[in-house]
C-alpha cells in the first residue's frame, strides 16, 4: 500500500480509527526513531557489559531476569494484543525507563567514572526514551486511544536503595535496565512497524 493511499489498517485495531496523512507521517517518524533507538540500545548494552568486568560478558553468565521496580520485559502475549493496547504498554514502559536509566548512570558514575562514553550513552538513553515515549503517546492520542501516565517515583527509589547493598547488585541492576531498555524499544519498533503503510500485518 502506498503511503498516500487508503488508511492504515490494522486488523486488530478499532475499525472507527481513520489516520490522517499527518498521523501517517508521525507514525513513520516514530517508527524510524524506535528503529534508531533499538540500534543505540544494542550499543549501550554492549558497552555496559564491557565496563563491568567478569563475570559480566562471560558466555555462561545469566543473572535472574527479575522485574525491576515493577517493570517487566514485554509479555509473551504482547504481540497478540490490539495495536492500541500494545502501544499503551510500550508508552508505559518508556516512561518508566528514564528514571531507572538515571539510577544506573549514577551508579556507573561511581563504579566507572572514566567510562565517559558509557555515562553519556546512559544519559542520552534516558532522554531518548522520554522522547520516544512522548511520540508514542502522541500517536495514541491521534488514534483516539487513551494514553498511559508516568509511573510513580517510589518504585525507582526502591531500586536505588536495593542496590546500596553492594557493587554486584548495582551492576546486575544496570544490566537488567539496559536489557529492558533494549527489549522495549525493539518491541515499540515492532508495534509501530505494523501501523506503517506497507509494514507487516
Partner 1 sequence: MLTLKIWIVQALFIFFTTESVGELLDPCGYIKPESPIVQLGSNFTAVCVLKEKCMDYFHVNANYIFWKTNHVTIPKEQYTIINKTASSVTFTDISLLNIQLTCNIRTFGQIDQNVYGIRIISGLPPEKPTNLSCIVNEGKKMMCQWDPGRETYLETNFTLKSEWATEKFADCKTKRDTPTSCTVDYSPVYFVNIEVWVEAENALGKVTSDHINFDPVDKVKPSPPHNLSVSNSEELSSILKLTWINSSIQGFIGLKYNIQYRTRDASTWSQIPPEDTASTRYSFTVQDLKPFTEYVFRIRCMKEDGKGFWSDWSEEASGITYEDNIASF
Residues in contact with partner 1 by the rule CB under 8 A = 29-30, 32-33, 35-36, 39, 124, 127-128, 130-131, 133-135, 138
**Cα distance between residue 53 and residue 44, in whole Å:** 15
34-43 burial: b if 16+ Cβ within 10 Å, else e: bbebbebbee
Residue 150, C-beta contacts closer than 8 angstroms, at least 6 positions apart: 95, 96
Nearer to partner 1, 175 or 192 (CB): 192
Comparing CA positions, the residue from 106, 132, 161, 143 lying closest to residue 39 is 132
Q: How far is the CB of 162 from partner 1 (least distance, A)?
A: 28
Nearer to partner 1, 81 or 134 (CB): 134
Nearer to partner 1, 138 or 155 (CB): 138
Nearer to partner 1, 33 or 173 (CB): 33
**Cα distance between residue 29 and residue 19, in whole Å:** 14
Amino acid at each position: 500500500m502506498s503511503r498516500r493511499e487508503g488508511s492504515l489498517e490494522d486488523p486488530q485495531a478499532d475499525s472507527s480509527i481513520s489516520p490522517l496523512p499527518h498521523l501517517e507521517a508521525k507514525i513513520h517518524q516514530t517508527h524510524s526513531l524506535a528503529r534508531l533507538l533499538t540500534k543505540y540500545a544494542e550499543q549501550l548494552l554492549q558497552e555496559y557489559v564491557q565496563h563491568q568486568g567478569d563475570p559480566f560478558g562471560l558466555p555462561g553468565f545469566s543473572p535472574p531476569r527479575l522485574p525491576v521496580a515493577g517493570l517487566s520485559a514485554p509479555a509473551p502475549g504482547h504481540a497478540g494484543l490490539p495495536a492500541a493496547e500494545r502501544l499503551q504498554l510500550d508508552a508505559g514502559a518508556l516512561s518508566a525507563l528514564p528514571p531507572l536509566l538515571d539510577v544506573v548512570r549514577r551508579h556507573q558514575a561511581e563504579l566507572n567514572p572514566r567510562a565517559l562514553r558509557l555515562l553519556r550513552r546512559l544519559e542520552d538513553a534516558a532522554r531518548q526514551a522520554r522522547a520516544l515515549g512522548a511520540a508514542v503517546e502522541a500517536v495514541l492520542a491521534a488514534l483516539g486511544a487513551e494514553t498511559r501516565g508516568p509511573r510513580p517515583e517510589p518504585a525507582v527509589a526502591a531500586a536505588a536503595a536495593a542496590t546500596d547493598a553492594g557493587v554486584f547488585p548495582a551492576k546486575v541492576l544496570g544490566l537488567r535496565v539496559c536489557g529492558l531498555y533494549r527489549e522495549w524499544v525493539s518491541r515499540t519498533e515492532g508495534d509501530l512497524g505494523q501501523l506503517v503503510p506497507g509494514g507487516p500485518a
